[in-house]
Amino acid sequence: MKEWATKEPLSYPVLIDTMHIVADLYGIVNVPAALWIDENNKIVRPADSTPASDMWRSFSGVDSAVHHDLLRRWVRNDELTMDADAVRSFQVLPTNDVQQARLHRRIAVALRLQGDETGALQHMDYAEQLAPHDWTIRRGNMPLRGVDPFGEKFMEFVGEWSAAGSPGFKLGTGRETK
């Protein structure tokens, strides 16, 4: 990731968060995602799926225009559609198992950087057992295992996740019902 992000001079800040700290702090469970934080450092819209375009709409079922329109209304008119109670009600708080899974994934990444592939794989396995439907863990581990994060294993994971009721972001902005 660092090689890609530093290939050309950038005109905007880029955060390379190999340990998923930002995702953990703000409840980001998949990408693309965003949360809105105002100039007073207050979360005014919780983490949610926010595709930039409709390229994956048939797969995700998310209409990107809905989020874009909400964002424009906030930026241009200071118009928010959620009060503080609604924001809190849609935030996904991690369970003990998810917190432990995140810790084991961090340990796996650290062990891998130290050259301990066996230890890293053990901790990745344990993280996935603790949080089997967490995209940042399951899909995030795929490239570390040499697995295509858009390939067959990914589609198997999507099937498991769907069968479990599609846990994750609760807000569902722009989500189409089928």
- From residue 6, alpha-carbon distances to 3, 14, 18, 165 in Å are 5, 9, 15, 38
Q: At 23, is the secondary structure helix, strand, or coil? A: helix
Distance CA 32, CA 149 (A): 14
Q: Any idea what DSSP says for residue 31?
A: S
Note every long-range contact of 18-27, with CB atoms under 8 Å and residues 24 or more positions apart, other chains counting. 18/109, 19/106, 19/109, 20/102, 20/105, 20/106, 20/136, 20/140, 23/136, 24/94, 24/102, 27/91, 27/92, 27/93, 27/94
* pTM above threshold 0.85: no
Average pLDDT score, the chain: 88
pLDDT tens for residues 23-40? 888 888 877 888 999 999
CA distance 74 to 162: 32
Q: Parse the chain into domains and list their residue ranges.
A: 2-90, 96-159
For the stretch 129-149, pLDDT in tens is 999 999 889 999 999 999 999
More confident residue, 82 or 3: 82
Q: Which of 92, 86, 76 is nearest to 45 (CA)?
A: 86
* 153 pLDDT more than 60: yes
End-to-end CA distance of the chain: 35
Q: With contact defined as beta carbons under 8 Å apart, do 178 and 61 qualify?
A: yes
Residue 13 has pLDDT above 90, yes or no: no
Dihedral (CA of 13, 61, 88, 160) sign: negative
Contact 137, 131 (CB under 8 A): yes
Compute the average pLDDT of residues 103-108. 96
% of the chain at pLDDT higher than 90: 54
Q: Are 49 and 30 in contact (CB under 8 A)?
A: yes
Would you place residue 4 in the very low, low, confident or very high pLDDT band (cuts 50, 70, 90)? low
